[in-house]
Amino acid sequence: MTKQHSSEKLVAMAPLMSIDGVQKRFGGVTALRDVSFELMAGQIVGLIGPNGAGKTTLVNIITGVERPDGGAIVFQDRRIDRMSSYRITRLGIGRTFQIVHPFPRMSVLENVAAAAMFGAGCRTITAAKERAAECLEFTGLSPLAATLAEHITLPDRKRLELAKGLATDPKLLLLDEVNAGLTATEIDRALELIQAIAARGITILLIEHLMRMVLRACSRIVVLHQGALIADGTPNAVIADQKVIDAYLGPGFNRGPAAD
């Protein structure tokens, strides 16, 4: 193998993002304890754990909402853990929020256009609205484009969160409890949409309590408990891990047919 081909192979294998020894404390409470793992381009990775495990805190640190007390985060060879949120977004990291709060008196289109202006750096309102219209078409929200956000249903608000995340033109999309409050049928539709997003080449970190969704969507699962990483592997390996069973799944956990 020539030096050039060897170098190209190393570049291809480089992680999209590396989280190295991240720590976070809030007063006397340690929210994250020396958390380290990598995300490779093209993956759908599940991030699971009990309430208070540190999942949302980690997402907030990745996206610049919080600063870590220790460790480093590198995204595409750039250290981002001291950057502002808008700079991180414009590098290509988008997110949704567990509790959705669209601008209620703005239309669905205007909500997504605002995300395009902030995250994707669209220079004109026209360009932002064009980007927003594409995202609404992709998420199936085009018929609601002119509707005020305060008038749409919870499932549509969840899709609006996805559209806003996509409008920032992400390479990595962090989905924080995007399926909370949805029915089984709505969850199935959300799964199809998440898989369609991944098919566009967008890497996804899926923060989720619904194991049915995690097992169907993800090729890899990372588990946090009391702020520490306790497992990282394939779905089959993780759900068989006794530490994960004891901390989160419980002895009666049943994969069920949806996970096969």
The 3-state DSSP class for residue 45 equals: strand
Q: What is the pLDDT of residues 143-178, one digit of tens each?
A: 999 999 999 999 999 999 999 999 999 999 999 988
**Which residues have CB under 8 Å from 200's CB, separation 6+?**
none
Query: What's the Cα-to-Cα distance from 89 to each of 12, 108, 164, 178, rounded to whole Å?
Result: 23, 21, 12, 19
Q: Average pLDDT of 66-79?
A: 97
Closest residue by Cα to residue 237 from 248, 247, 245: 245
Query: Which sequence spans correspond to the domains of the chain?
Result: 14-88+210-251
Q: Are strands 78-79 and 29-39 parallel, antiparallel or unpaired?
A: unpaired
Q: The whole model's pTM is what?
A: 0.89
- CATH ID of 14-88+210-251, from 3.30.450.40, 3.40.50.300, 3.40.50.720, 3.20.20.70: 3.40.50.300
Calculate the CA 172 to chain-centre distance. 7
Rounded-to-integer distance, Cα 88 and Cα 210, Å: 28
Q: Please answer whether residues 149 and 104 qualify as being in contact, where contact means their C-beta atoms are separated by less than 8 angstroms.
A: yes
Rounded-to-integer distance, Cα 250 and Cα 209, Å: 13
Confidence (pLDDT) at 133 = 98
Q: What is the pLDDT of residues 4-26, one digit of tens each?
A: 544 444 445 689 999 999 999 99
Among residues of the chain, what percentage have pLDDT more than 70? 92
Look over the chain and give the mean of its residue pLDDT values, rounded to a whole number.
Answer: 91
